[in-house]
Amino acid sequence: MTPARFQHLLAPVFELIGSRAVDGKLEQELNARFAPGGELFTEIETACHAAIRAGWMCARGGEGRRFGRVIEPGPETENLSVDVVQLKDIAGPHHRHPAGEICLNMPETPGATFDGKGAGWCIYAPETAHRPTVRGGQALILYLLPGGTIEFT
């Protein structure tokens, strides 16, 4: 798995999101089209694990909290950046989402939750804030940021 192949794999997600509002309706559509256990969800999950093994994904941080931006925003990504974090029973740093955040939770430990939710997509609307929290084990979280904007508080 290479960064270019990973970006190509995410193309259907970028296309679906496009210039849509980052809201609950988008969350429902992502979960319907790219559901946990579905083909693309499984391919993304497998690709993330391969990229971590290759050393270019989740290359920063340490045990319990590894992270890193893997794709910068641009026209080919509908202006979405892509970051991936691997969290284990931890609350990450508080941050706000000036333009929103689109997250894909991929539990590595059965039953692990991200902000109280199981596997699948969740949306944080523009101007929201949180401490990303994984409980019940370890999970990979892929998150897309419109314009790549995030503000750590």
Q: What is the pLDDT of residue 94?
A: 94
**Nearest one of 147, 148, 149, 96 to 124, comparing CA atoms:** 96
pLDDT number for residue 82: 98
Cβ-contact 109, 138 below 8 angstroms: yes
Residue 77: CB atoms within 10 A of its CB come to: 19
Q: How high is the pLDDT of residue 1? A: 85
CATH of the domain at 40: 2.60.120.10
Q: What is the pLDDT of residue 115?
A: 96
Residue 62: its pLDDT value, please? 87
Tell me: the pLDDT tens digits for 31-65? 999 999 999 999 999 999 999 999 999 999 888 89
Residue 138 has pLDDT above 90, yes or no: yes
Predicted confidence at residue 64, as pLDDT, reads 86
Residues 68, 57 contacting (CB under 8 angstroms) = yes
Provide the domain limits for residue 112.
Answer: 3-152
Q: Which among 37, 36, 15 is positioned nearest to 26, based on CA atoms?
A: 15
Looking at residues 79-100, what average pLDDT do you find? 95
3-37 residue pLDDT tens: 999 999 999 999 999 989 999 999 999 999 999 99
Tell me the percentage of the chain whose pLDDT exceeds 70.
100
Helix (H) or strand (E) holding 45: helix 39-54
Query: Tokens representing 129?
Result: 């804030």
Measure Cα distances from 79 to 61, 71, 142, 149 in Å.
26, 10, 16, 10
Residue type, 148: G
pLDDT of residue 153: 87
DSSP notation for 113-149: EETTB-SEEEEE-TTEEE--EEEEEEEEEEEEEETT-
Instruction: Specify the pLDDT at position 9.
Output: 98
Instruction: Please tell me the total count of domains within the chain.
Output: 1
